[in-house]
């Protein structure tokens, strides 16, 4: 079975909270919990982060997975490598996707990749900074 962004990888340990979306959010988008916007470092979005597990319309409430959940995320152009920290892509057209981060800072890290994913592919990520 092929996985898509926003699918839950492990039910055990899943933590979900409800947010009010600050814009339209698609299932699998990385969102900042600070303002309910899609995460994009070039737009100044910082963590903590969550992942939408269903579509959420602007102004509506919806559920996002938070650390320490393990979910599937879409890789940005740079892709991501297993067992490295990942952060939101810095490419404006790739909002909600993640890529490797060379020098992680707490407010940028979405989680740790548990498998490698090439550009636009989906891979498993453990949410949280550890």
Residue 96 contacts residue 28 (beta carbons within 8 Å): yes
DSSP-derived letter for residue 58 is: T
- Point out which residues pair with 111 in neighbouring strands: 86, 127
What does pTM read for this prediction? 0.90
What lies within 8 Å, CB to CB, of 59 at 6+ separation is 20, 21
pLDDT tens for residues 5-45? Answer: 887 887 777 899 999 999 999 999 999 998 999 988 788 78
Greatest Cα pair distance in the chain: 36
Burial class (CB in 10 A: 0-12, 13-18, 19+), 111: buried
**Peptide bond just before 13 cis, omega within 30 deg:** no
Span 110-126, average pLDDT: 95
Query: What per-residue confidence (pLDDT) applies to 1?
Result: 64
| Per-chain mean pLDDT for the chain | 91
């Amino acid at each position: 079975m092929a996985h898509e962004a926003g699918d839950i990888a492990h039910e055990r340990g899943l933590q979900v909270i409800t947010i009010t979306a600050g814009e339209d959010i698609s299932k699998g988008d990385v969102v900042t919990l600070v303002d309910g916007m899609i995460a994009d470092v070039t737009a100044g979005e910082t963590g903590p982060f969550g992942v939408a597990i269903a579509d959420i319309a602007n102004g509506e409430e919806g559920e996002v997975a938070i650390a320490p959940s393990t979910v599937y995320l879409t890789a940005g152009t740079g892709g991501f490598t297993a067992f490295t920290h990942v952060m939101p892509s810095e490419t404006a057209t790739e909002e909600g996707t993640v890529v490797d981060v060379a020098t992680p800072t707490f407010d940028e890290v979405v989680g740790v990749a548990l498998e490698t994913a090439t550009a636009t592919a989906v891979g498993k990520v453990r949410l949280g900074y550890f």
